[in-house]
């Protein structure tokens, strides 16, 4: 029947170049789509339009000079990028950071996770045609950026962690303002969910779209919400705790069906869990210094190290090879977006053109990190 239909009705396949200047590809992703009418036969992501040679740049800079470059990889989550890099160097040098610094790092990282998820929600909803959540969510993100600005002076590329701790103590009244923000946020998240979660159209567009089961998700190397959406409770903060994540309570939200809707629910719940973590951190915030003693010139011993953190988008790992010099011999970044993007052709095959934007949105990719 299908063959008969194909011979009678089937047209030619058309090749559509989707991007790199397309409004829904979140930057400069280019997809070469083979479509039969509106149906996707094949999709091929083409990357490299934002390549800046970050990994090569690392080899030229001293260790502290590398930190600002990490900001510019996943530019929607600078704090967690910093956290991964300084953590790797500290692990290599065997530095233990003071508890106050660790807690500040956790607060910043969780705020960053919320900010990153907000961007994801705003653009994902916008791609599916709901314009209004964009403005509601960005109002909250603005407040997070204000908190960042007050702490370190920057809003987007924070450069807010140093090898051995954090550069500054929290400004006066900051914890109070931060607490007020996290107290208000759950109500706002409820508002956003009221617009989308039970919306028939939203469900029609996301349930059963881009399905990947747990086994396949692991085989593709997915991490972060795309993996948890498929029901695998894997979170670096839990399985390899860093900073003081083993001291705070939170749970890992997981989905069941591994579709776009489940990944949406997972991320929404993650924002609430981040709020929970921030609250505990603010309650426990110990006194003390914010920098450990570190040598003036950072010169890690010869050797190599792999250290990863749970970024908003998945496992963000740094693999550093040191030859005992002031600059790293080689830094390799394991970017979550790059690995998650691989699964895109698998996720969109057989779906319609409209689903491509939904899947791009649900993978939550940032091209700055994919190309580096």
Partner 1 sequence: MNELLWTYVGWPLLKILVILLALVLLAAYLSWFERKLLAYMQIRLGPNRVGPKGWLQPIADALKLFVKEDLTPGFAEKFVFLLGPVLIIVPALVVFSVIPFGPSPHLFITDVNIGVLFILAVSSIGVYGIILGGWASNNKFSLMGGLRSAAQMISYEVPMGFSVVTVLILAKSLSLVRIVEAQKQAGLWFVFPGFVAFLVYFICGVAETNRNPFDLPEAESELVAGYHTEYSGMKFAFYFLAEYANMVVVSSLATVMFFGGWLRPFPNVSALAFLDVIPPLVWFLLKVAFFLFLYIWFRGTFPRYRFDQLMGIGWKVLLPVSLVNLLVVAYFVSLPGGQV
Binding segment for partner 1 among 132-140, 174-182, 221-229, 292-300 (CB under 8 A)?
Answer: 132-140
**What whole-number distance in Å separates Cα of residue 305 and Cα of residue 252?**
27
Q: Are strands 314-322 and 14-18 parallel, antiparallel or unpaired?
A: unpaired
Nearer to partner 1, 126 or 309 (CB): 126
CA–CA separation, 109 vs 79, rounded Å?
A: 6
d(CA 153, CA 202): 38
Q: Is 43 in the site for partner 1 (CB under 8 A)?
A: no
Options 6, 204, 219, 239; binder of partner 1; rule CB under 8 A = 204
Q: Judged by CB under 8 A, how many residues of this single chain contact partner 1?
A: 31
State yes or no: residue 50 binds partner 1 (CB under 8 A): no
User: Residue 33: beta bridge partners?
Assistant: 16, 43
Handedness of CA 238, 239, 241, 246 (dihedral sign): positive
Residue nearer to partner 1 on the CB measure, 200 or 296: 200
Residue 354 interacting with partner 1 (CB under 8 A): yes
Taking the complex as a whole, the smallest distance from the CB of residue 19 to partner 1 amounts, in Å, to 10
* CB of residue 134 to partner 1, shortest distance in Å: 8
Enumerate residues 6+ apart whose C-beta is below 8 A from 46. Answer: 29, 30, 31, 32
Interface with partner 1 (CB under 8 A), residue from 49, 75, 136, 174: 136
- CA contacts within 13 A on the Cβ side of 132: 6
CA distances from 119 to 77, 116, 128, 342 (A): 10, 5, 14, 21
Q: From the CB of 16, what's the least distance to partner 1, in Å?
A: 5
Establish if 353 lies at the interface with partner 1 (CB under 8 A): yes
Min separation Cβ 132 and partner 1, Å:
5
**Does 130 engage in binding with partner 1 (CB under 8 A)?**
yes
Residue in 128, 152, 185, 339 binding partner 1, rule: CB under 8 A: 128
Q: Residue 205, interface with partner 1 (CB under 8 A)?
A: yes
Query: Closest CB to partner 1 among 51 and 194?
Result: 194
Classify burial at 109, counting beta carbons within 10 Å of its beta carbon; exposed 0-12, middle 13-18, buried 19 or more: buried
Minimum distance, C-beta of residue 67 to partner 1, in the bound complex (Å): 35
Q: How far is the CB of 136 from partner 1 (least distance, A)?
A: 7
Per CB under 8 A, which of residues 137..156 are in contact with partner 1?
139
122 binds partner 1 per the rule CB under 8 A: no
Asked if residues 299 and 338 have their Cβ atoms less than 8 Å apart, the reply is: no
Stretch that binds partner 1, among 22-30, 47-55, 286-294, 314-322 (CB under 8 A): 22-30
**Residue 124 vs 228, nearer CB to partner 1:** 124
Q: Does 134 engage in binding with partner 1 (CB under 8 A)?
A: yes
- Binding test (CB under 8 A) with partner 1, winner from 4, 8, 9, 131: 131
Angle at 37 between CA 32 and CA 38, to 5 degrees: 70
Taken in order 169, 172, 175, 181, is the CA torsion positive or negative?
A: negative
Beta strands in the chain (DSSP E): 14-18, 30-36, 39-46, 303-311, 314-322, 330-334
Distance (Å, rounded) from C-alpha 234 to C-alpha 224? Answer: 8
The only residue of 38, 191, 213, 283 in contact with partner 1, by rule CB under 8 A: 38
Judged by the rule CB under 8 A, the positions of this chain that interact with partner 1 are: 14, 16, 22-24, 38, 125-132, 134-136, 139, 195-196, 199, 201-202, 204-205, 352-357
């Amino acid at each position: 029947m299908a063959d008969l239909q194909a011979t009678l009705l089937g047209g030619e396949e058309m090749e559509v170049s989707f991007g790199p200047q397309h409004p829904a590809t979140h930057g400069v992703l280019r997809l070469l789509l083979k479509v039969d009418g509106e149906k996707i036969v094949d999709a091929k992501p083409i990357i490299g339009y934002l390549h800046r040679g970050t990994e090569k740049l690392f080899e030229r800079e001293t260790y502290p000079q590398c930190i600002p470059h990490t900001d510019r990889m996943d530019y929607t989550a600078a704090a967690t990028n910093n956290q991964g890099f300084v953590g790797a160097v500290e692990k290599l040098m065997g530095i233990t950071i003071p508890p106050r610094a660790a807690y500040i790092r956790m607060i910043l990282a969780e705020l960053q996770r919320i900010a990153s998820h907000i961007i994801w929600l705003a653009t994902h909803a916008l791609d599916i045609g709901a314009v209004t959540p964009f403005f509601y969510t960005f109002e909250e993100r603005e407040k997070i950026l204000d908190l960042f600005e007050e702490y370190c002076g920057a809003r987007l590329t924070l450069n807010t962690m140093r090898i051995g701790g954090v550069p500054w103590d929290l400004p006066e009244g900051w914890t109070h303002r931060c607490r007020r923000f996290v107290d208000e946020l759950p109500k706002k998240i409820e508002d956003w969910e009221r617009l989308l979660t039970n919306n028939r159209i939203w469900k029609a567009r996301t349930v059963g779209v881009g399905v990947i089961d747990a086994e396949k998700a692991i085989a593709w190397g997915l991490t972060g919400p795309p993996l948890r959406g498929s029901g695998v409770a894997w979170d670096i903060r839990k399985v390899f705790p860093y900073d003081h994540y083993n001291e705070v309570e939170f749970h890992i939200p997981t989905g069941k069906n591994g579709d776009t809707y489940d990944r949406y629910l997972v991320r929404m719940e993650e924002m609430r869990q981040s709020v929970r973590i921030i609250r505990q951190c603010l309650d426990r915030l110990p006194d003390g210094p914010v920098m450990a003693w570190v040598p003036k010139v950072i010169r890690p011993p010869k050797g190599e190290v792999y250290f990863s953190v749970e970024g908003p988008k998945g496992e963000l790992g740094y693999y550093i090879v040191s030859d005992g010099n002031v600059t790293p011999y080689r830094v390799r970044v394991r970017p979550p977006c790059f690995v998650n993007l691989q699964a895109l052709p698998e996720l969109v095959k057989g779906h319609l053109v409209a689903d491509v934007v939904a899947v791009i949105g649900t993978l939550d990719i940032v091209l700055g990190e994919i190309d580096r």
